[in-house]
Amino acid sequence: MATGRLANKRCLIAGGSTGLGLAAARRFLQEGARVVIVGRSVEKGAAAFESLHTVGPVQFFPCDVSDPKLVELLFQDSIAHLGGLDVLYHVAGISGRRQGDGPLHECTEDGWQATIDANLKSVFLTNRAALRHFLEQRQGGVILNVASVLGLAPSPYYFDTAAYTASKGGILSLSRLAAARYAPDGIRVNVIAPGLIDTPMAQRAVHEPAIAAFLKSKQPLKPGPGQPEDCADAAVFLCSDEARFITGAVLPVDGGWCVSEGQA
């Protein structure tokens, strides 16, 4: 039920055209936010806009957020469109498998670089741009990044991807450093670390019978993977004023993954 927890918040969601980001955009709009969603695919962005524009004020901008020049232009356009910025929610990223990510002894250099660029460099670029704006305007602000439970609790039997796990661990460290550095400026930086969520990026794992069986003991709070809305509701809280005294937090949204042994 919408309660206006993000009323009039000006929000930029990087990776907002599919999966976790799309679910978050819908919940943000329901809670009264004004939203810009960002994605690489114009086609997916147009579809997302069509599904969201009746919910609340939303705009789509195409951008590869691993490109410094494009990120600079993105923030200029988004801030102009929104009349400022209060919240950056960075969801964008890739799994890396198609690019050559895998076990450390098999991970290719191309796979490593592509995954680090898409997952970690992109967070660096968007977070830097948001921080520069917040500091220039001498305002507080919120940054929320998406990592993964794999950065906290590795699972090599089914999820043995070196670059992906390293990139998510990097997001955790970068976010906590930023939280410490910019807390005196009234800027909060937090992280959501999802378990296995049913998104387009996770379809290989979601539909693998062995992984489905594994999840019964690894994510025991519910049968099967989590849903994008599970993360969206957590994001609403962390981006709202209800979380005004929270920074540097890493919130596992994982159905119990980090506290469960799991049986392969």
Q: What region does 186 belong to: left with phi over 0, alpha with psi -120 to 50, or beta?
A: left
* HSE-up of residue 53 (Cα within 13 Å, Cβ side): 8
Q: Are 141 and 130 in contact (CB under 8 A)?
A: yes
- The SS3 of residue 97 is helix
CB atoms closer than 10 angstroms to residue 204: 10
* Joined tokens for residue 143: 């940054």
Query: How far apart are alpha carbons 1 and 27 in whole angstroms?
Result: 10
Whether 164 sits among the annotated catalytic residues: the reply is yes
Look up residue 258 and give its DSSP letter.
G
Query: How far apart are alpha carbons 15 and 62 in whole angstroms?
Result: 10
Query: How far apart are alpha carbons 223 and 47 in whole angstroms?
Result: 30
Q: Are 14 and 89 in contact (CB under 8 A)?
A: yes
Residues 6+ apart with CB under 8 A from 85: 10, 11, 12, 75, 78, 79, 130, 133, 134, 141
Query: How far apart are alpha carbons 141 and 193 in whole angstroms?
Result: 21
Q: Which residue has the tokens 């691993």?
A: 66
Of these residues, 89, 157, 158, 164, which one is catalytic?
A: 164
- The SS3 of residue 116 is helix
Residues catalogued as catalytic: 164
